[in-house]
Amino acid sequence: MDISTRAVHVVNEPSPPGSRPLSVPLVQSSAFAFDSADGLAGAMAGPDGPYAYSRRGNPTVRALEKTLAGLEGGASALAFASGMGAISGVLLALLRPGDRVVAQRCLYGGTYAVLSDLSERYGIQVVYVSGDDPAAFEEAAQSPRTRLMVLETIANPTGQVPDLPGLLAAARRMGVRSVVDNSLASPVLCRPLELGADIVVHSTTKYLAGHSDVLGGAAVFADDELRRAVWPRTVELGACADPFAAWLTLRGVATLPLRMREHCANAAVLAERLAAHPDVAAVHYPWLADHPSYATARKVLSGGGGLLSFELAGGREAGRAFIERVRVAQLALSLGGVETLVTHPASTSHRELDAAALEAAGIAGGLVRMSVGIEGVEDLWDDIEQALA
């Protein structure tokens, strides 16, 4: 089925014969009662038995997991309390002291911080590569201790799109597992598991939920054995998804394809106009022909996404003035909601990076990030023009 159809027809729990609810029921219960001690004991044995305690599993959360697995083309999924919960849970489950990780240089600041912490605490070696050259990955992954490759489908905030087909093929040849953060693309624009990834992670807070009212994350697995390896970390860390957050995310997923079309269409128009504006020094959007990842983006993605960034000719002060003068757009963290948001990455989403790491990641001090919403595009452009003026 088309992804638009799959997004609407979410996976629901079985119901008694004769009728079924059209929407997934919200099971807002922390625990479940049993008729026998053996029944309760059996429910504690693994992730797929009867529900016993919502940190270990919940019907509403399970519906979200099955739905996301279907959208990404995966075998199974786990829902987490946040995107960082998903990333941390996967990394802590799969890495051991002394292992090596090869990661894309331009990563979300939170992911960078987790990798740095693992390096300091447990001696895990992290090697950063550009993400454009599979040969560079192979060279960095020569150590027999290389366990993981970490990538982002669309890098935040530069819009870099790594060579997923080439990198994922190289990782498979070398027996290295791959984790791809697909939050900015969503399964509408790209499904990395179909390109050879082992695990896809999401901040479901972003486009999947889409309304700036949910905190959540997810990991989708190509192989169910990987889910079973990661699930205990979810339970131990307490990073499990809340049923109400899962229910809200399912509501958002139903309109995901529609929203992504509007996000992409609006962002493409604004990127073209910003690129032609005399006060703008550079625009980073993978659907622009002069973007370094343009050719790869056209091969890997079905749209340019809803996130763009731009550097103003006046530098940091001009960028600061701009984000304080917008009126339709809002100065706020996060992205992927229906409203347009602007922020300053160097002091917010990537504040964990020092000056050298920011430069290596291509994040200028005066860079403005814009998460383009689904408002009327002319209203958004009028707002940008008055803020620039």
The CATH number of the domain where 299 resides is what? 3.90.1150.10
Query: Nearest 10 degrees: CA dihedral of 364, 368, 371, 372?
Result: -130
| Domains contained in the chain, number | 2
Pair (171, 27) in one structural domain: yes
Question: Residue 222: exposed, middle, or buried by beta-carbon count in 10 A (0-12, 13-18, 19+)?
Answer: buried
Is residue 323 within 8 A of residue 389, CB to CB? The reply is no
Pair (298, 347) in one structural domain: yes
CATH code at position 127: 3.40.640.10
Pair (276, 216) in one structural domain: no
Q: What is the pLDDT of residue 350?
A: 61
Pair (221, 358) in one structural domain: no
Pair (123, 205) in one structural domain: yes
Residue 51 among the catalytic residues: no
Annotated catalytic residue, options 51, 53, 55, 294? 55
Q: Which of 228, 253, 278 is the last residue of a domain?
A: 253
Residue 181 among the catalytic residues: yes
Pair (214, 326) in one structural domain: no
Residue 55 among the catalytic residues: yes
Q: Which of 208, 236, 253 is the last residue of a domain?
A: 253
Annotated catalytic residue, options 6, 62, 99, 108? 108
pLDDT by position in tens, the chain (length 389): 888 888 888 777 766 677 888 889 999 999 999 999 999 999 998 899 899 999 999 999 999 999 999 999 999 999 999 999 999 999 999 999 999 999 999 888 899 999 999 999 999 999 999 999 999 999 999 999 999 999 999 998 899 999 999 999 999 999 999 999 999 999 999 999 999 999 999 999 999 999 999 999 999 999 999 999 999 988 999 999 999 999 999 999 999 999 999 999 999 999 999 999 999 999 999 999 999 999 999 999 999 999 999 999 888 788 888 999 999 999 998 999 999 999 987 776 666 666 777 676 677 777 899 999 999 999 999 999 999 99
Residue 325 among the catalytic residues: no
Q: Which of 253, 283, 307 is the last residue of a domain?
A: 253
Pair (162, 26) in one structural domain: yes
Annotated catalytic residue, options 99, 132, 181, 242? 181
Pair (220, 275) in one structural domain: no
Pair (60, 98) in one structural domain: yes
Annotated catalytic residue, options 206, 227, 233, 259? 206
- Domain coverage including residue 375: 257-388
Pair (139, 89) in one structural domain: yes
Pair (232, 284) in one structural domain: no
Long-range contacts of 199-203 (CB under 8 A, 24+ apart): 199/90, 199/226, 200/72, 200/74, 201/83, 201/86, 201/87, 201/90, 202/68, 202/83, 202/86, 203/82, 203/83, 203/84, 203/86, 203/336
Pair (110, 204) in one structural domain: yes
